[in-house]
């Protein structure tokens, strides 16, 4: 289909919109366009709703704006077309009508490339349209409360897609539902609800994406054979904040991802669902999360090997009662590990066993997390260490813990001098106080 | 402005504190603990440009929670009771000075002494923390809350000192209060929640009513603006108060604890004449 479109576009003629000699509207140009034509739109603001029903290329010159005036779908595509180079803005705000910047319906091989979409409810919406290509677009949703926003990108029953190098800000989600074989790479999603909201879609790959400051980085449900490579999931905060979540998902392979400063780094619910299927997490960095990995009690057959768990408040937790011992935790780096490597093989000589009475209680009673980082929790842990009778069962055991972080190529040390003046100032204050006390002491001595 | 007599009494109390062994023992312990934690506890790594201090900072918060109430409570609890036992208080009150001036002098002198001690220890630990990449705002907030916490326990200690007839009783009262506020009270609330299903609101109220917990909430509020570290209760606190509101209420609670027991102590002191 793509090849056919390419051939058509090479053979077709050119129709110009705008300027002295061109058509006055895009609709008028599309009316006369033949399949394979390129409709070239000159700079200017075109206040209209565009419907593309022919396999054409609609190419905006820099400064070409299509303005929907705040109603309906701005550009509707019903044929294997290409839309590129526009600023598309001003869709309607109706959720029931699914008002969007670009809506593609029942048209395979459509390419949406290098557009900017602003003030749109849904950004780019593909319905029952296979082999979509969504590349290099910038999408910014309407300034609405989260519950009233639309999705930045949505694939609905659209297989074999490519979502590449797009930037999304303040939208709801990237939604991929009932859409197998999609590749998602090099995108950046910020200040949205779900960076990626994903259901009933198999054999998909996610690579080099950045999900930053969303309520949830990515959440995958009811799907299988999903690959995650080298993505960044950061700053998903709030009580339901999760960097990466799985529910009923089989055959996950996650490698080289950085999952940092989320409320929960990785959340796993009933995944994998099938016996003999393993979800593999290798070479990922989980750092500075409130909880590194959180599992529901029934979760089993997840393999965490060669990951770095770095300064998470709690490296792993199980919601409710139970442990995570039916998952494989071999060869990870744990910043809590207090063992040593006597034989120099890079592995600790004693297993890493994670067990804390306070975490055990906080797992069962989430409300008690309000006492996190408090002395009461510390006292409980000290008590359980002193009285083995009170010690909870281990939550997890790593028989070969790494003594150095692994998969941490992008870690830098803070340059010592960056806070030099502040440090010097504080030290000076400290010394000045010491001097003052000494002086006061001497004056006391003299008056005595 | 303080009157000349009160200034004199403040200076007297400050000099007495600077001559006491506790001042140097506590200062050294706080300095050493702070330096050790800041040097070995704080990660100086950045992952993809991200830094996280929650866990590393917990050590410094724990140090402050443990030490500052002790540093403030015991010298303050001993202060009036000790002078009453030795007869020095009678001598001072025989001078042309009021009970309020004597009480204010004791309070002011202890506050200044403790502020010096904490600034000395905190300055050095803060310098190391700053080199380790902890943001200046966080260091200054912790320092501010540490001073507020010290004020609370000085007031509380003075109140005990006035109320108790002997130094030993005052210190015992101080120790019991320290145990209750630092750990046992919270453990009791946890037990009540687990065993008897105490309402969730009790947890939230306790975190602001107890000055030690209020200190923790205030500091965490700066570290984690949406309090997601504190789970669903933290989230509901933010829904009600907003992110600045939680820190503000924590500071207010500490201020109230600084004022309330202080005024009660003054009232008891006047009444006791």
In this model, does residue A410 exceed pLDDT 60? no
**pLDDT tens, position by position, A101-154:** 999 999 999 999 999 999 999 999 999 999 999 999 999 989 888 888 999 999
**pLDDT tens, position by position, B68-108:** 998 898 889 988 888 888 888 888 888 888 888 888 899 99
Residues of B in contact with A232 (CB under 8 A): 48
Q: How far is A161 from chain B (nearest CA, A)?
A: 29
| A404 in B contact zone (CB under 8 Å) | no
**Residue B61 maps to a domain:** yes
Instruction: Of B80, B65, B96, B84, give the one whose Cα is nearest residue B13.
Output: B80
pLDDT value, residue A442: 67
Measured distance CA(A137)–CA(B182) in Å, rounded: 55
Say if the Cβ atoms of B116 and A436 lie within 8 Å: yes
| Nearest chain B alpha carbon to A373 | B58
pLDDT value, residue A413: 42
Residues of B in contact with A376 (CB under 8 A): 183, 186-187, 190
pLDDT value, residue B43: 59
Say if the Cβ atoms of B131 and A419 lie within 8 Å: yes
| Segments forming the whole domain that contains residue B135 | 4-179+258-271
Instruction: Of A226, A230, A263, give the one whose Cα is nearest residue A248.
Output: A226
Burial letters A216-233, b for 16+ CB under 10 A, else e: bbbbbbbbbbbebbbbbb
pLDDT value, residue A446: 58
Cβ-based contacts under 8 A for chains A and B? 193
Instruction: Of B72, B43, B103, give the one whose Cα is nearest residue B215.
Output: B72
Q: How far is B229 from chain A (nearest CA, A)?
A: 6
B76 by DSSP, 3-state: which? helix
| Nearest chain A alpha carbon to B117 | A433
In this model, does residue A185 exceed pLDDT 50? yes
pLDDT value, residue A381: 80
- The token duo for A310 is 């770095």
Say if the Cβ atoms of B52 and A427 lie within 8 Å: no
**pLDDT tens, position by position, A326-345:** 999 999 999 888 888 888 88
**pLDDT tens, position by position, B194-253:** 888 888 889 889 999 999 999 999 888 887 777 888 888 888 888 888 878 888 999 999
Q: How many CB atoms lie within 10 A of CB A332?
A: 28
**Residue B92 maps to a domain:** yes
Residue A128's alpha-carbon distances to A67, A149, A204, in angstroms, are 26, 22, 17
More confident residue, A398 or A377: A398
**Residue B120 maps to a domain:** yes
- The token duo for B247 is 């820190």
Measured distance CA(A192)–CA(B160) in Å, rounded: 53
Instruction: Of A198, A204, A249, A201, give the one whose Cα is nearest residue A227.
Output: A204
Is residue B64 very low, low, confident or very high in pLDDT (cuts 50, 70, 90)?
confident
**Residue B139 maps to a domain:** yes
Say if the Cβ atoms of B123 and A433 lie within 8 Å: yes
Mean pLDDT, chain A, rounded, equals 88
**Average pLDDT in the A78-93 region?**
96
The length of chain A is: 448
Residues of A in contact with B203 (CB under 8 A): 367-368, 370-371
pLDDT value, residue A415: 37
Q: How far is A347 from chain B (nearest CA, A)?
A: 21
pLDDT value, residue A352: 93
Q: How far is A252 from chain B (nearest CA, A)?
A: 24
In this model, does residue A412 exceed pLDDT 70? no
Q: Give the helix/strand (H/E) hosting A7.
A: helix A2-11
**Residue B233 maps to a domain:** no
**Residue B189 maps to a domain:** no
DSSP for A82-104 reads EEES-EEE-----TTTT-EEEEE
**pLDDT tens, position by position, B13-31:** 888 888 888 788 888 888 8
| A238 in B contact zone (CB under 8 Å) | yes
Residue A381's alpha-carbon distances to A47, A357, B62, in angstroms, are 66, 5, 14
Residues of A in contact with B47 (CB under 8 A): 258, 260, 285, 287-288, 310, 408, 410-411
Please report the ipTM that was assigned to this predicted complex. 0.84
**Average pLDDT in the A306-310 region?**
93
- The token duo for B132 is 């380790």
| A313 in B contact zone (CB under 8 Å) | yes
User: B-contacting residues of A 166-225, CB under 8 Å?
Assistant: none
pLDDT value, residue B269: 86
Residue A388's alpha-carbon distances to A314, A316, A382, A409, in angstroms, are 21, 21, 10, 40
pLDDT value, residue A421: 63
Q: How many CB atoms lie within 10 A of CB B120?
A: 24
Measured distance CA(A291)–CA(B110) in Å, rounded: 41
Residues of A in contact with B210 (CB under 8 A): none
- The token duo for B260 is 């309330």
**pLDDT tens, position by position, B33-53:** 888 877 776 655 677 777 777
Overall domain count for chain B: 1
Say if the Cβ atoms of B120 and A437 lie within 8 Å: yes
A338 by DSSP, 3-state: which? coil
Q: How far is B225 from chain A (nearest CA, A)?
A: 9
Pairing label, strands A232-234, A258-260: parallel
pLDDT value, residue A358: 76
**Residue B146 maps to a domain:** yes
Asked if the peptide bond before residue A321 counts as cis, ω within 30 degrees of 0, the response is no
| Nearest chain A alpha carbon to B238 | A238
- Select the residue of A232, A288, A428 nearest B52 (Cβ to Cβ): A288
- The token duo for B231 is 């789970």
| Nearest chain A alpha carbon to B66 | A375
DSSP H helical segments within chain B, as ranges?
Answer: 4-19, 21-36, 54-86, 88-93, 99-131, 136-163, 167-179, 185-196, 200-209, 211-223, 231-271
Residues of A in contact with B13 (CB under 8 A): none
- Select the residue of B18, B183, B234 nearest A444 (Cβ to Cβ): B18
Q: How far is A8 from chain B (nearest CA, A)?
A: 45
Residues forming beta bridges with residue A77, ordered by sequence position: A52, A104
pLDDT value, residue A76: 97
Measured distance CA(A184)–CA(A202) in Å, rounded: 13
Q: How far is A415 from chain B (nearest CA, A)?
A: 8
Beta strands in A256-385 (DSSP E): 258-260, 264-269, 279-282, 285-287, 291-295, 302-305, 308-310, 314-318, 333-334, 352-354
More confident residue, A409 or A187: A187
**Residue B52 maps to a domain:** yes
Q: Which of B45, B49, B210 has the most A C-beta neighbours within 10 Å, making it the best mutation to test the interface with A?
A: B45
Residues of B in contact with A440 (CB under 8 A): 14-15, 18
pLDDT value, residue A417: 41
| Nearest chain A alpha carbon to B186 | A376
């Amino acid at each position: 289909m793509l090849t056919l479109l390419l051939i058509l576009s090479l053979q077709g003629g050119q129709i110009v919109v705008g300027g002295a000699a061109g058509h006055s509207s895009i609709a008028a140009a599309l009316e006369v366009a033949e399949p394979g034509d390129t409709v070239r739109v000159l700079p200017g603001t075109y206040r209209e709703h565009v419907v593309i029903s022919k396999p054409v290329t609609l190419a905006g010159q820099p400064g070409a704006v299509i303005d929907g005036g705040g109603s309906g779908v701005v550009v509707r595509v019903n044929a294997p077309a290409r839309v590129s180079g526009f600023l598309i803005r001003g869709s309607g705000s109706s959720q029931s009508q699914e008002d969007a910047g670009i809506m593609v319906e029942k048209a395979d091989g459509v390419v949406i490339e290098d557009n900017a979409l602003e003030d749109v409810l849904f950004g780019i919406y593909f319905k029952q349209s296979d082999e979509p290509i969504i590349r290099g677009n910038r999408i910014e949703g309407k300034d609405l409360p989260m519950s009233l926003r639309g999705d930045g990108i949505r694939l609905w029953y659209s297989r074999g897609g490519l979502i590449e190098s797009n930037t999304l800000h303040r939208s709801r989600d990237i939604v991929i539902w009932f859409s197998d074989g999609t590749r998602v790479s090099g995108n950046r999603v910020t200040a949205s609800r779900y960076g990626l909201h994903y259901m009933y879609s198999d054999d998909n790959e996610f690579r080099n994406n950045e999900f930053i400051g969303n309520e949830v980085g990515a959440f995958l449900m009811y799907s299988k054979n999903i690959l995650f490579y080298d993505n960044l999931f950061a700053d998903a905060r709030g009580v339901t904040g999760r960097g990466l979540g799985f529910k009923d998902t089989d055959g996950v392979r996650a490698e080289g991802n950085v999952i940092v400063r989320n409320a929960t780094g990785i959340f796993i619910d009933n995944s994998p669902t099938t016996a003999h299927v393993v979800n593999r997490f290798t070479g990922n960095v989980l750092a500075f999360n409130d909880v590194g990995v959180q599992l529901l009690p029934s979760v089993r057959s997840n393999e965490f090997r060669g990951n770095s768990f770095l300064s998470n408040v709690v490296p792993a937790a199980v919601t409710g009662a139970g442990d995570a011992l039916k998952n494989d935790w071999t060869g990870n780096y744990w910043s809590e590990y207090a063992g040593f490597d006597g034989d120099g093989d890079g592995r600790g000589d004693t297993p890493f066993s994670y067990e804390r009475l306070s975490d055990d209680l906080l797992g069962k009673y989430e409300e008690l997390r309000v006492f996190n980082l408090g002395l009461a929790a510390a006292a409980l842990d000290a008590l359980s260490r002193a009285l083995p009778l009170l010690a909870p069962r281990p939550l997890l055991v790593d028989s070969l813990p790494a003594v150095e972080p692994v998969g941490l190529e992008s870690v830098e040390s803070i340059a010592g001098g960056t806070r030099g003046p502040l440090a010097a100032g504080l030290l000076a204050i400290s010394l000045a106080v010491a001097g003052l006390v000494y002086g006061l002491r001497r004056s006391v001595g003299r008056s005595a | 402005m303080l009157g000349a007599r009160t200034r004199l009494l403040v200076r007297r109390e400050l000099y007495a504190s600077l001559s006491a062994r506790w001042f140097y023992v506590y200062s050294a312990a706080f300095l050493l603990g702070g330096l050790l934690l800041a040097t070995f506890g704080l990660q100086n790594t950045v992952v993809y440009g991200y830094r996280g201090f929650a866990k590393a900072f917990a050590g410094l918060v724990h140090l402050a929670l443990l030490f500052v109430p002790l540093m403030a409570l015991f010298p303050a609890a001993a202060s009036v009771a000790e002078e009453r036992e030795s007869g020095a208080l009678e001598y001072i009150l025989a001078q042309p000075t009021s009970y309020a001036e004597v009480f204010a002098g004791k309070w002011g002198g202890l506050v200044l002494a403790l502020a010096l001690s904490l600034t000395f220890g905190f300055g050095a630990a803060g310098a190391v923390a700053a080199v380790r990449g902890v943001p200046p705002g966080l260091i200054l907030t912790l320092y501010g809350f540490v001073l507020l916490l010290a004020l609370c326990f000085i007031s509380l200690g003075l109140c005990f000192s006035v109320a108790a007839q002997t130094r030993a009783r005052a210190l015992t009262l101080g120790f019991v209060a320290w145990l209750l506020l630092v750990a046992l009270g919270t453990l009791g609330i946890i037990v009540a929640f687990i065993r008897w299903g105490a309402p969730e609101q009790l947890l939230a109220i306790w975190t602001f009513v107890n000055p030690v917990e209020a200190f923790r909430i205030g500091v965490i509020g700066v570290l984690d603006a949406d309090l997601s570290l504190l789970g669903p209760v933290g989230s509901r606190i933010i829904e009600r108060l907003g992110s600045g509101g939680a820190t503000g209420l924590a500071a207010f609670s500490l201020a109230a604890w600084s004022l309330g027991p202080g005024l009660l102590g003054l009232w008891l002191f006047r009444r006791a004449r």
